[in-house]
Amino acid sequence: MEAKKEQLIVSVSPHIKSDETTSRIMWTVSLALMPAMLSGLYFFGPKALFITLLCIVSSIGFEQLYMKIVDKKSPVGDGSAFLTGLLLGMNMPSSLWSFSPFTAHVPVVASFVAIVITKQLFGGLGFNVFNPALIGRAFALISWPKAMTVWNEPTAAFLAMDAKTSATPLGVLKEEGIAKLLEIFGDKVSLYQHLLTGNRAGSIGETSAIALLIGGIFLLAKRYISWHIPVSFLGTAALMAWIFGGKGALFTGDPIVHLISGGMMLGAWFMATDYVTSPTIKKGQLLFGAGCGFLTMLIRLKGGFPEGVMFAILIMNCLSPLIDRSFRSKVFGVVSQSKPKEAK
């Protein structure tokens, strides 16, 4: 009886396969954002829901319309347009709905910029250079700066439609210092408590640091993100805040206030970790996160804006391909082709 011959099957990459799909990843990330989104709805009421839904519906609608125009199959089912709209809505102030003159068109225009210009015109999902939601917000901030920088006080009553306007903690810290911030919130324990729970002025989905942290840890546990970017981002920002964040003296700043204020947690866990616009190599991710943290604090402490997360991530998005190229693995088994020396 002839022995059975063994065969070596050689195939192209990828050689490591997974049951995870783009659709599953996108919808899981959206699920991880729900605690922060629900916190925003609790504190800012129906206006926050309307603004977020307007961003989501507009993002999905523009993607559908674009695909119909170019006669391609719609990728709406993959959840990427939904996630972009959700993130964009969470980065909007709830005051847009009641701002005078009427500015509810701002989320629609921002969604168009995010989906059509930033994503689809670059080739669709996987080819965009910048984070679509952040470009949409940046465009809205540049085009309607007053409307995008008016913040509602939290009401902790979902059915409340009216709200007073108030400065964000970072705005108060930038203009009047930590003493004024403590005067508003009472003491540091009360300040930390309000910042962690989300009971303060800010964008719809960025205010509750603890809710965002829960979502980030969930993504870590599911291995959809790694620790490299969030930890290097937050660690670098905390170090700079401690060294340079004090008034008049080094090493007197309060890093906790900076870490749990503004868009730091939302940016570190959900925006900077975007697969497409961040490095794929772990060492590169550490540098990318550190760059985001450094630029964020540079803008917060020395720039004209009290917040810097959005600009920091977009700047580092530009450098992401260069970072990956710098840290790419050495190719083994390749013999360098050097020119032979000419005979004398």
- The mean pLDDT values, 10 residues at a time, for the chain of 344 residues are 58 56 93 96 92 96 95 86 97 86 89 97 93 97 94 74 79 92 92 94 94 97 96 98 90 96 96 95 96 98 94 97 87 60 55
168-173 contact pairs (CB < 8 A, 24+)? 168/200, 168/201, 168/202, 168/261, 168/262, 168/306, 168/307, 169/195, 169/200, 169/201, 169/202, 169/257, 169/261, 169/262, 170/261, 170/262, 170/300, 170/306, 170/307, 171/306, 173/257, 173/261, 173/306
pLDDT score, position 4: 59
Task: Give the closest residue to 172 by CA, choosing from 143, 193, 212, 201.
Answer: 201
CA 131 – CA 144 distance, rounded (Å): 20
The answer to whether the beta carbons of residues 306 and 170 sit under 8 Å apart is yes
**What does the alpha-carbon distance between residue 183 and residue 206 come to, in Å, rounded to a whole number?**
23
How many angstroms from the chain centroid is the CA of residue 195? 18
What distance in Å separates the CA atoms of residue 258 and residue 34, rounded to the nearest whole number?
23
Angle at 337 between CA 336 and CA 343, to 5 degrees: 130
Query: Which stretches of 198-303 are DSSP H helices?
Result: 209-221, 228-244, 255-259, 264-266, 282-302
Count CB atoms within 10 A of the CB of residue 229.
Answer: 28
Q: How far is CA 244 from CA 6, 153, 250, 321, in A?
A: 66, 29, 6, 30
Which residues lie across from 165 on neighbouring strands?
Answer: 152
Instruction: Let me know: does 224 contact 29? Beta carbons within 8 Å.
Output: yes
pTM across the whole model: 0.89
Cβ atoms < 10 Å from Cβ of 176 = 13
E strand residue ranges, the chain: none
What is the Cα–Cα distance from 147 to 144, expressed in whole angstroms?
6
Residue closest to 63 by CA, chosen among 131, 130, 129, 132: 132
How far is it, in rounded angstroms, from Cα 136 to Cα 140? 6
**pLDDT at residue number 343:** 54
Number of alpha carbons in the 13 Å side-chain half-sphere of residue 226 = 15
